[in-house]
């Protein structure tokens, strides 16, 4: 679907220079001389490289629609690949570890994820915004430190290190943001 260059919005997927790009940031610029343009920071969907491009309103770009399907995480084969099952037709798909990157650490058995595909090949996996994990190792609480907004390092059950408030102890279940691996709150269960 063709759209004008100044109609690009963050999150849009466009085809540019024979590759698929996700618009990350946009900035409208109107210089003193010449016409206005849209400065767009693009991120390659397949390899993650970034590109800054200028698009004018007269330029047409190809906006791509991705197929999004809900899958359920079944199991990991070592640390090399991960197998998912389509929630509608029960077909299974196996994706390599590089495809998931750091997100793979948050995969939990029977977790529902969204897999984006283009022309039949998977290009992205979206995990839930937050996951509940258990802390296996945390520094002890220092008396009087709870009043300040300081954080201390802790190790999660999946081996990741995160910063948590001082009142969180080993064995506590916490909610983690999967996008940036940050502490959200203590789990309510």
In this structure, the strands spanning 60-63 and 67-77 are unpaired
Q: Are residues 53 and 8 both part of a single domain? A: yes
Residue range 146-164, pLDDT digits in tens:
555 678 889 999 888 999 8
Q: Are residues 119 and 145 both part of a single domain? A: no
CATH of the domain at 7: 2.30.30.30
Q: What is the structure's pLDDT at 175?
A: 92
Domain end marker among 47, 63, 79: 63
Segment 136-146 shows an average pLDDT of 73
Q: Are residues 78 and 118 both part of a single domain? A: yes
Query: What secondary structure letter does DSSP report for 99?
Result: H
Q: Are residues 6 and 59 both part of a single domain? A: yes
Tokens of 76: 């990991």
Residue range 62-119, pLDDT digits in tens:
888 888 899 999 998 887 889 999 999 999 999 888 778 778 888 888 999 998 888 8
Q: Could you tell me the residue range of the domain that residue 134 belongs to?
A: 130-186
**CA–CA separation, 137 and 105 (whole Å):** 17
CATH of the domain at 107: 2.40.50.140
**CA–CA separation, 104 and 66 (whole Å):** 22
Which residues make Cβ contacts (< 8 Å) with residue 75, sequence separation at least 6? 82, 83, 109
Domain end marker among 63, 87, 116: 63
Residue in this structure with the two tokens 């203590």, named with its chain if needed: 186
Q: What is the structure's pLDDT at 145?
A: 58
Segment 4-15 shows an average pLDDT of 86
- Dihedral sign for Cα 106, 111, 116, 120, please: positive
Contact 173, 186 (CB under 8 A): yes
Domain end marker among 22, 42, 63: 63
Residue 59 has pLDDT above 60, yes or no: yes
Total structural domains in the chain? 3
Residue 12 has pLDDT above 60, yes or no: yes
Ranking 1-10, 126-135, 170-179 by mean pLDDT, the lowest is: 1-10
């Amino acid at each position: 679907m063709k759209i004008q260059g100044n109609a690009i919005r963050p999150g849009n997927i466009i085809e540019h220079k024979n590759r698929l790009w996700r618009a990350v940031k946009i900035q409208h610029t109107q210089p003193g001389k010449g016409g206005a343009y849209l400065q767009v920071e693009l991120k390659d969907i397949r390899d993650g490289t970034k590109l800054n491009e200028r698009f004018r309103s007269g330029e047409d770009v190809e906006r791509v629609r991705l197929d999004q399907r809900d899958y359920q995480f079944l199991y990991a084969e070592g640390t090399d690949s991960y197998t998912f099952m389509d929630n509608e037709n029960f077909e299974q798909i196996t994706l390599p570890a590089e495809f998931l990157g750091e997100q793979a650490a948050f995969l939990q058995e029977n977790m529902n994820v969204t897999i984006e595909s283009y022309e039949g090949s998977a290009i992205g996996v979206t995990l839930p915004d937050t996951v509940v994990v258990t802390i296996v190792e945390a520094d002890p609480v220092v008396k009087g430190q709870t009043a300040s907004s300081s954080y201390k390092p802790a190790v999660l059950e999946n081996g990741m290190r995160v910063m948590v408030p001082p009142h969180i102890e080993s064995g506590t279940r916490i909610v983690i943001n999967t996008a940036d691996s940050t502490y959200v709150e203590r789990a309510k269960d």
